[in-house]
Structure 1
Amino acid sequence: MTTPDIDQILQGLNPEQRRAVRATRGPVCILAGAGAGKTTTITRRIACQVAAGDVAADSIFAVTFTDKAAGEMRSRLERLGVGGVKARTFHSAALGQLRNLAEEPPGQIMPSKAAALRQIGNTLPKPYRFRPAGDLATEIEWAKNRRLTPQTYLDGLGSHEPPIPADLMQSVFHRYERGKRDRGLVDFEDILELAIRMHDDEEAARERFQARYSAFTVDEYQDVNTLQQTLLERWLGGRDDLCVVGDDYQSIYGFTGATPRHLLEMPRRFARTQVIRLETNYRSSPEILDFANKLVPRLGGAEKNLKASLPSGETPEVRPFTSEDAERRFVVERIKELHERGIPYEDIAILYRVNFRSEDYEEALAGAGLPFQVRGGNFLTRPAARRLLNRLRPPNATGVAERVRAAAVKEGLLPELPEGLGEQETTRQNDLARLVHLAEEFDAAGGSVNDFVADLKARFTSEGGGRGVNLLTLHRAKGLEFEAVFLVRLEEGELPFKRAKSDEAVAEERRLLYVGITRARRHLFVTRVVGTKASRYLAELGIGPQSTRAPLSGAGSRSAADDPAVGALKRWRLQRARDDSVPAFVVFHDSTLEAIAAAEPADLVQLSEVPGVGPAKLDRYGDEILQALSAVTSS
């Protein structure tokens, strides 16, 4: 390829981007705010390194965090006339070095930790036996990314909370490592450890690598963990021609062992480091950036105040609602309005903290006939639903609710969710409970197992053919952008997630909210349900206990937050759920209790007319509900 022209490389860049691109010799630390054009900047910088003659293209080693990002970097460089740059993820780079340079190739790589951990998990004491292998795998990855072993695991925990008791988790870690070793297998973390060992112990391999590569670029540096940082230091071999790019405000992968500390401490590690800030945002309106910037005083780290390049737009809406149903109706109606104004469904996103929230909006959007796509697996394809539905036999059997309840118990449904559940287990428990609730509703109309499965598919399947409104977690939204974003359920226990106990964990949850806000280009809606505890981050955003708008019911009804009848029904539901050993919302959802309180039924006939109270639930709970309501009216 021809040598790129420097003037062409600099074309269209703002002054801060130009400064970063012209800083062709390391050490360089680029602090790139959300939407500030970091990918453009780092690819142009690499092109400028080659154009200036500072380094040959095939001597540059660029590290990204996904294969997709590595491919995008190579494509952009080729369009700039630069070929031959090695762009890889940490794992693919380490594996390539072991295969090409090491004296002995690595062992066979485990396709996944899940299968091995599922077997180990099945032998755990009963309260923990059904925990998803994914939660255990995440914990082992966290430990190994911090270079902890089973022997040092307990000492290295600090304020970190494992998904099961620490001594039990240590035993799982021991058994996992022993089983892997006995089968001659390695996992992805082992690949990095083996590459570190190769650079430490094999002089010929180390010298070949260091002779080949002399300049390094690392993207998304805020997400580097201790294991990756150690390998990077071996690659450098005491040299300092390094450029890192990142945003500590978007460091959200602490559960993998990642920390923004490596980014923030780079000027201390390399005395000559040039620190360059990219603070011009090309994505979001000024109003959305002003909203996001309210979190900045508490984000800590390297302060960055993003400045908008777009014209003024709409003020973000913060809305409280009297019920979950009202919140969902608002989101659906707003999506319809936005689409009528010309915004494609694909450019609208509903973001939530925990995966089980997807099912609420899958059902709401499907019921409204709106297309949607769930990133990361929809309700019916997640493990809990798949396994439970596979248990329902024979397909023509009736009495669906009892069969689903029995199957859910066999799958490990807990009557109450204990503290400390991992995210995957929280999602699994909620999915199981939701299926029991749906089966209760279905039994009111009657039908077979086959009919129930068909009803589920009709209620939770999009007609969009893989396109439509995006439903995804805040973690999956990182790196994406949408014209309109709905941030739902900003409540304590959801954001911050209930397991976030330490100051460090709460700070990461705050950064997760910042990431969510900065995904929006022109339209941002933030919602919560009254009666739950508002997220502490709302106050940091300048939103009081109530927003400037009154709580909305979606149908003009009174607020249920302080209704004594609702309170009495919730207390009755809690006791009944404990007696039945099921989660509370399997008995009745909040919205149904609120509808019952609003209807003030005097007898079973009037109670049967309330939406959500089918024949099965009327027969099981009807008299108790009327007694609970009577106690309120007579007091």
Structure 2
Amino acid sequence: MSQPAQPSPALPAHPSADAVLAALDPEQREVAASPLGPMCVLAGAGTGKTRAITHRIAYGVLSGAYQPQRVLAVTFTARAAGEMRTRLRDLGVGGVQARTFHAAALRQLHYFWPQAIGGAAPEVMSHKAPAVAQAAASLRLQFDRTGIRDLAAEVEWAKVNMLTPETYAAAATAARREPPGIDPTGMARLLEVYEEVKADRGVIDFEDVLLVTVGILAEHDDIARTVRQQYRHFVVDEYQDVNTLQQRLLDLWVGERDDLCVVGDPAQTIYSFTGASPRHLLGFTKKHPKSRVVRLVRNYRSTPQIVSLANLVVRGPSGQARSHSVQLEAQGAAGPQPVLTAHPDDPSEAAAIAAEIAERVAAGTSPADMAILFRTNGQSEAFESALAERDIPYLVRGGERFFSRKEVRDAILLMRGAARSDDASKPLPELVRDVLVGAGWTREAPSSGGAARERWESLAALAALSDDLVATHPEARLPQFVRELDERASAQHAPTVQGVTLASLHAAKGLEWDTVFLAGCSDGFLPITMADTAEAIEEERRLMYVGMTRARRELRLSWSGARTPGARATRRPSRFLDGTTSILGDGARAQRKSTRTVGGGGRNSLKPSLPAKCRGCGAELTTAAQRKTGRCDECPPSYNEATFERLREWRLATARAASVPAFVVFTDATLTAIAEAEPTSESDLSRISGVGARKLGLYGAQVLAVLGGTDVAEVVAGAADGDAETASATTELVD
């Protein structure tokens, strides 16, 4: 059963301005009733921010404050823009431009390019990876597919922060950016060559759409004036996710005017790795001193039990609400308490969740009303397998786009043909289903799962969409339905597909379900191991908050003690749950062990410590060898195999020269740790466990030479003059 939405009076077919306001709660009404001037809306999760801003636009148009074609509403996803257009249409307001930053900029780029630059605008690359790979190859840098993807992400970060090859290195160092396999100076050079590759191909990338539009507006006053005459009123949704480049473009659009309404939630800032920053939202009132600030705090999405848990998590260990955060106030009916469940390992966790979902489906719950959320895409496979074993339909968020699927494209083509002969003799939903049968659809769902079930669900979603259209426009016929599908395809506003959603927490932003299974609630996943600064940890906290607030009625949290069956249970619950024991029980408390030091006595005889964590899965490291490498035994090594083999070759030659076992030079664990850390100085090398002052003096220069690419034979030969001394010292290590 869904959590009831915000109650509101039904609007007439052609609502008046007053009727639009009557549909809102007091805070939403404050947003809508002031359509002119600067406004900052701090809107918590599930508080109806889209409702507030679409009604604000509708009120502005219906009251005469706006001309609809003079309004530009900007958001971050095509789906959100499509939803906004649909809501405005249902409010009786047409002509408003609701677009993403990139879609709006691309239209302007194509329109003004001939005037500003001449000729036709260049093609936009669909993917930058091939150009990045070509740039890396020209610099004789070798990266695998994952490495190229990481480099492409770094290119995007540099561009949205408006960095050039000349300014990148300093900014990346200050931001502690560490693209794998390349230093900031090398990355700066790659950026330079990447731009040359694009120029040779005569193309631009996704970020260039914004950059070039910014350049045109900044350099051509006449074009900037034209844009500002066209758009006089601006609304920006998800403003906490604006990056430096988007803010610059927005400033150029707005100009000297102040008719700007921004909407966002600092507690949902989860994209800082892309360059997004809440500073624009938090600093809005300083930039616009006359702005009105409205806080939307009434949560209509989730039960009071879910809201209470989410509030505890977002507050953090201090228990104090941040001055800029929104503490949600639940408005819905009570529901079940959130539950935290521990499992012995990852497959057990996936199987248990699939079993519970199967029970709910058997009891009549729609699979589309449930979702499994997790921190990383790599966690998806276990849940896909567990659901497939039980023939439960599912869809992976971020997979193939709905309107790109072959069965959907074929069905729309058939409907376009049938629309020419629609004589209104059948109700639209019945006619649509007849056409879908011609496309291979059956009125009863197939008993099997897999691809066949997924195709069936896609076509069933089209049938359900015809029901929705008739509910709002009873007179609609097949030609209108085809237009609706075309508009949704253009906006990537997909209908709901009947399947359990599998999604990462980032991909789940902006979505909601009756029941959410939030899996992997352990340190190492939440927070992710790579989060090694206070700022990064807080973003991970916000990510868990976002996941919790996707649930309308039930929230089921879980974690597992180990990755694989039979492995040592070394994980612990997420530290973000420490303050939630009043709701989730003592099982939510992350247990911290105390270790007694050898020898006893003294004030340091009991030394509290946090066991080291595996940088791969987050498991606690229980042996000295594991702590040296920073990995548990189950995670694969992350070193370059060629580097490790060269180190082993050097160790063997050194050990033979001293007539001692190889482990006396360095143990396997220490050698692995050196290969993974790839130190570049004796200072870095000395920080690795197992490399003491004595061994640093004996082997430090040789190890660094091997890591620096010097041939092993040359390193060994260069150390030949000191062989007697080194051999003697090495023998002492054995003795």
TM-score with structure 2 setting the length: 0.62
Secondary structure at 1:574's aligned position in 2?
coil
Is the contact between residue 16 and residue 278 of structure 1 (CA under 8 Å) also seen in structure 2? yes
Q: Using a 3 Å threshold, how does the CA distance of structure 1 residues 301 and 359 change in structure 2: closer, same or farther?
A: farther
Q: Distance in 2 between matches of 1:71 and 1:175?
A: 37
Residues 372 and 470, structure 1, Cα contact 8 Å, conserved in 2? yes
How far residue 532 of structure 1 moved from its aligned partner, in angstroms, is 1.4
Query: What is aligned with 2:416?
Result: none
Alignment match, 1:475: 506
1:244 maps to which of 262, 272, 275: 262
How far off its partner does 1:463 sit? Answer: 4.5
* Structure 1 residue 48 corresponds to structure 2 residue 59: yes
Cα distance between partner residues in 2 of 1:28 and 1:502:
33
Q: Distance in 2 between matches of 1:237 and 1:253?
A: 27
1:197 to 2:256 alignment = no
| 1:286 alignment partner, one of 282, 287, 304 | 304
Q: 1:411-560, aligned counterparts within 5 Å?
A: 463-465=453-455, 467-530=498-561, 531-542=570-581, 546-547=587-588
Q: 2:162 aligns with which of 124, 144, 147?
A: 147
Shift of 1:572: 14
Could you tell me which amino acid in structure 2 is paired with residue 296 of structure 1?
A: V
Tell me, yes or no, if the aligned pair for 2:265 and 2:325 is still in contact at 8 Å.
no
Tell me which residue corresponds to 2:394: 372
Task: State yes or no: 1:70 paired with 2:70.
Answer: no
> C-alpha offsets along residues 302-358 of structure 1, whole Å, 9 cap, x if unaligned?
221111121111111111222223222321222123224432111111111110111
One-letter amino acid of the structure 1 residue matched with residue 268 of structure 2:
Q
The 5 A counterparts of 1:219-368 are 219-298=237-316, 300=322, 302-368=324-390
Structure 1 counterpart of 2:523, which letter?
E
**C-alpha offsets along residues 463-490 of structure 1, whole Å, 9 cap, x if unaligned?**
4545422111111111111111111112
Asked if the contact 1:250–1:515 (Cα under 8 Å) also holds between the matched residues in 2, the reply is yes
Q: Does 1:59 align with 2:70?
A: yes
CA distance in 1, matches of 2:575, 2:71: 45
- 1:26 matches 2:37: yes
| Structure 1 stretch displaced more, 129-138 or 499-508 | 129-138
Correspondence for 1:161 among 174, 177, 185: 177
1:218 corresponds to: 236
Q: Are the equivalent residues in 2 in contact too, given 1:3–1:51 (CA < 8 A)?
A: no
Larger CA deviation: 39-48 vs 328-337 = 328-337
Q: Deviations over 1:270-294 (max 9, x none)?
A: 0011111111111111100000000
Q: How far apart are the structure 2 equivalents of 1:58 and 1:208?
A: 14
Task: Provide the rounded CA distance (Å) in 2 between the counterparts of 1:545 and 1:123.
Answer: 57
- Over aligned residues, Cα RMSD in angstroms? 3.3
User: 2: CA distance between counterparts of 1:90 and 1:577?
Assistant: 41
* Identity score, percent: 41
Q: What secondary structure sits across from 1:509 in the alignment?
A: helix
Q: Could you tell me how far apart the structure 2 residues matched to 1:78 and 1:577 are?
A: 53
Work out whether residues 136 and 142 of structure 2, in 8 Å CA contact, stay in contact via their aligned partners in 1. no
1: distance between equivalents of 2:631 and 2:242?
49
Q: Distance in 1 between matches of 2:634 and 2:364?
A: 49
SS of residue in 2 equivalent to 1:131: helix
Structure-1 separation of matches of 2:365 and 2:634: 47
For residues 182-203 of structure 1, what are the alpha-carbon distances to aligned partners after superposition, in whole Å with 9 as ceiling and x for unaligned?
A: 2222112112122222222112
Q: How many Å apart are 1:540 and its aligned residue?
A: 4.0
If asked which structure has higher relative contact order (CA below 8 Å, sep 6+), I would say 1
Q: Deviations over 1:58-90 (max 9, x none)?
A: 111111212222222222222222222122211
- Alpha-carbon distance between aligned partners in 2 of 1:246 and 1:581, rounded to the nearest angstrom: 43
Tell me how far apart the structure 2 counterparts of residues 198 and 562 of structure 1 sit (CA, whole Å): 55
- The alpha-carbon distance between structure 1 residues 126 and 547, as it changes in their structure 2 partners (threshold 3 A), is same
Measured against aligned partners, the alpha-carbon deviations of 1:105-157 in whole angstroms (never above 9, x if no partner) come to: 53222221022123345678888444343322221111110111122111112
2:452 and 2:501 mapped to 1: Cα distance?
11
The letter for the 1-side match of 2:633 is L
Q: What count of residue pairs does the alignment treat as equivalent?
A: 489
Partner of 1:13: 24
> Aligned residue for 1:173?
191
1:549 Cα deviation from its structure 2 partner: 13
Confirm or deny: 8 A CA contact 2:134 2:197 kept in the other structure: no
User: Residue 179 of structure 1 aligns to which amino acid in structure 2?
Assistant: V
In structure 2, the residue corresponding to 1:162 is in which secondary structure?
Answer: coil
The change in CA–CA distance for 1:33 and 1:371 in structure 2 (over 3 A counts) is same
The secondary structure found in structure 2 opposite 1:489 is coil
Cα offset for 1:561? 10
Cα pair distance change 1:572/1:498, threshold 3 Å: closer
Task: Point out the structure with max Rg over C-alpha.
Answer: 2
Q: Secondary structure at the match of 2:65?
A: coil
Give the letter aligned to residue 136 of structure 1. L
State the alpha-carbon separation in 1 of the partners of residues 243 and 589 from structure 2.
42
Question: What is the Cα deviation at residue 562 of structure 1?
Answer: 12
Amino acid at match of 1:151: E
Q: Aligned equivalents of 2:586 and 2:451: distance in 1?
A: 36
The Cα shift of 1:11 comes to: 2.7
Q: Confirm or deny: 8 A CA contact 2:393 2:449 kept in the other structure.
A: no
Q: Which residue of 2 aligns with 1:118?
A: 133
Change (3 A) 1:315 1:246: same
AA paired with 2:146? R
Instruction: Give the 3 Å change call, closer, same or farther, for CA 10–572 of structure 1 in structure 2.
Output: closer
**Contact kept? 2:387, 2:393, Cα under 8 Å:** yes
Q: Structure 2 CA distance, aligned partners of 1:125 and 1:347?
A: 50
8 A Cα contact 1:122 1:129, kept in partner:
no
* 2:224 aligns with one of 192, 199, 206: 206
* TM-score in terms of structure 1 length: 0.71
CA contact (8 A) 1:5 1:51 kept: yes
Q: Take 2:44 and 2:535, find their aligned partners in 1: how far apart are those partners? A: 21
CA distance in 1, matches of 2:23, 2:234: 25
Matched, 1:133 2:174: no
CA drift of 1:515 comes to 0.6
Residue 313 of structure 1 aligns to which amino acid in structure 2?
A: G
Query: Match of 1:525, SS?
Result: strand
Note if contact 2:72-2:96 (Cα within 8 Å) is conserved in structure 1. yes
Match of 2:47 among 36, 40, 60: 36
SS for the counterpart of 2:89 is helix
What SS does the corresponding residue of 2:295 show, helix, strand or coil?
A: strand
Distance between the aligned counterparts of 1:129 and 1:120, measured in 2?
14
Change (3 A) 1:228 1:486: same
Deviations along 1:514-549, one digit per CA (max 9) or x if unpaired, are 110001111111111222143221214346883489
* Aligned-partner SS, 1:485: strand
Query: Contact (CA 8 Å) 1:139, 1:162: kept in 2 or not?
Result: no
Partners of 1:162 and 1:169 within 8 A in 2: no
What is the Cα deviation at residue 43 of structure 1? 0.7
The one-letter amino acid paired with 2:171 is G
Are the structure 2 counterparts of residues 577 and 44 from structure 1 closer, same or farther at C-alpha, using a change threshold of 3 Å? closer
Code of the aligned partner of 2:83: E
Query: Contact 1:221 / 1:245 at 8 angstroms: preserved in 2?
Result: yes
